[in-house]
Structure 1
């Protein structure tokens, strides 16, 4: 027969409601009583029912992570730190994926009885933040934000990383500078483009429109965009990519075109994913602590669940340039 809360109550010499309150650290229960209840529960091997907890507290202790681009290697890297941070705080991670960010997604999130949501692939024109706000479901932006609704967010400040990268590029003699920028409806693409242009302008260099391509944040799109740049009569000698997975595509395009990296073209990414440092790749990139950013997002959403009226927090993470094999001196051609 399964151990019940009544069994714990008898052993700890308290009432059954006190057992429930003690195991969820209700401040109305003294520390001594909470200790006795926990010891009794451990001795009996009692495991509280999640359904019962949800009914008594009005919370499921489940947080959703909404990712509409699961194929992107970046998001595969943030799932683990989000899960670990939520677990430490007593919450379960529920991964939700969708091919499009629309009202249907929000209704699915609501229907799953979540306490809060981390929005990981929000676009500027997304309706999800508006719908979540209107339905009263706490949420946090991770990496990307939307101006439509102000909310807690963890974001990257790309300026320092681009300034360092451009300094290296100029010192190595590059003047034909290309860029494969991300989708214009994402805050990340906009902030990175702005930071790149500002760093170049500070050194008297402009980004030639002929050397600019825009594409989704994926490898195949980066491959196609880089191939078109390398096919120009005077191709760029260096290509800044919207992120590392786009840069992987650019490396593939260079290999296919017979252009040596970095002798024929230099390639720079953004994010510093684990594979970027592999000896077979050694991608020069702009880095930041995306795992810490993911953990911070998990912390913010649980704080918002507990205290929905607290001031909104925007937590920013700085960047730094990491030069590796894919950046070299400008080619003479």
Structure 2
């Protein structure tokens, strides 16, 4: 099946431009439109799979583009989104962005006449952002945001990073390890910035040996934790960018015969349900995951139903708080 990407390549334009031509946008130059139409004809592309859905009736269906449900954060927020959408009379189709054919996923979404899109795992430089932001289909980003902003519901992640680092500094930790996710993700970039700001406010600098940027896979997180434990002196506290990452780090620490928090304090972010389990009791920078999902659904439905002008961006930041449990304490003297 020919994709809009192939049309764009042959015509020498962006996918967003192809989308605008298919959608009948008026702000496309005549010569550009002709190039796109010529490419469509040469490739025998069937624009009705995407373009017709942009101008015809919409189903009462929301498309959710989610990260991997092995991360409990995504499973919890997906549940909140589906539950509220159902109460509001909308079905939810869930797609996962960890597949190689992401462009086909986006095309499939709009070809299914969805009423709106929730994107929960976008990168700062996501190349498909223009496709859904200019397609005419209402959308909102949740948890993360693109560098061009748009509609979003996120946590104040800079403040979250400050809260986590301040907590460890106030306990008296001097050697603090950080296991952070990729910096092309707004969540991780902002949490890292908050950590650095907290250090700077105390007149301290980050020891780069203690900073590990990982791809969030279990293997990469484990390697980062082993690396931190090999440093002498090793960190007396480790800050992980998510609770899910902290649970992996916790496993490594215990495997190495270390005690938490007596030997190493551990803190995460998101306060997933498992973090408060009596056997785990992970200190975490918390926020209401269900509330985030519900705000995103309500905001998107307001846009879909015309209660909010599409030109008026919905940009919402939720405030974090610290949930202190049993994985952090002052370092041994």
Whether these two folds match at TM > 0.5 is yes
CA contact under 8 A between 1:283 and 1:326: conserved in structure 2?
A: yes
Q: Deviations over 1:164-214 (max 9, x none)?
A: 433332232210111001111100000100111111111112211000001
The aligned residue for residue 314 of structure 1 is 315
Give the drift of 1:71: 2.2
Q: How many residues align?
A: 276
* Correspondence 1:265 to 2:264: yes
Structure-2 separation of matches of 1:309 and 1:284: 39
Give the drift of 1:158: 2.8
218-227 or 186-195, larger mean C-alpha shift: 218-227
Q: 1:64 to 1:215 in 2, by over 3 A?
A: same
* Correspondence 1:111 to 2:107: no
CA contact under 8 A between 2:269 and 2:286: conserved in structure 1?
A: yes
Secondary structure at the residue paired with 1:321?
A: strand
- TM-score norm. by structure 1 comes to 0.78
Q: 1:185 to 1:160 in 2, by over 3 A?
A: closer
1:117-156 equivalence runs, <5 A: 117-148=117-148, 150-156=149-155
Secondary structure at the residue paired with 1:178?
A: strand
1:281-296 equivalence runs, <5 A: 281-296=280-295
Secondary structure at the residue paired with 2:134?
A: helix
Larger Rg: 1
Structure-2 separation of matches of 1:123 and 1:165: 23
Q: 1:68 to 1:289 in 2, by over 3 A?
A: closer
Structure-1 separation of matches of 2:320 and 2:133: 31
Structure-2 separation of matches of 1:97 and 1:250: 25
58-67 or 164-173, larger mean C-alpha shift: 164-173
RMSD, matched Cα: 1.9
Structure-1 separation of matches of 2:181 and 2:328: 21
Q: Deviations over 1:231-280 (max 9, x none)?
A: 11211111110100000011011011111111111110000000001111
1:201-220 equivalence runs, <5 A: 201-220=200-219
Structure-2 separation of matches of 1:213 and 1:63: 37
Structure-2 separation of matches of 1:268 and 1:220: 19
Secondary structure at the residue paired with 1:286?
A: strand
The aligned residue for residue 24 of structure 2 is none
Give the drift of 1:225: 1.3
Structure-2 separation of matches of 1:266 and 1:167: 13
Secondary structure at the residue paired with 2:294?
A: helix
Q: 1:58 to 1:190 in 2, by over 3 A?
A: same
Please list every run of 5 or more consecutive structure 1 residues that lacks an aligned counterpart in the other structure: 1-53
Structure-2 separation of matches of 1:98 and 1:141: 14
- TM-score norm. by structure 2 comes to 0.78
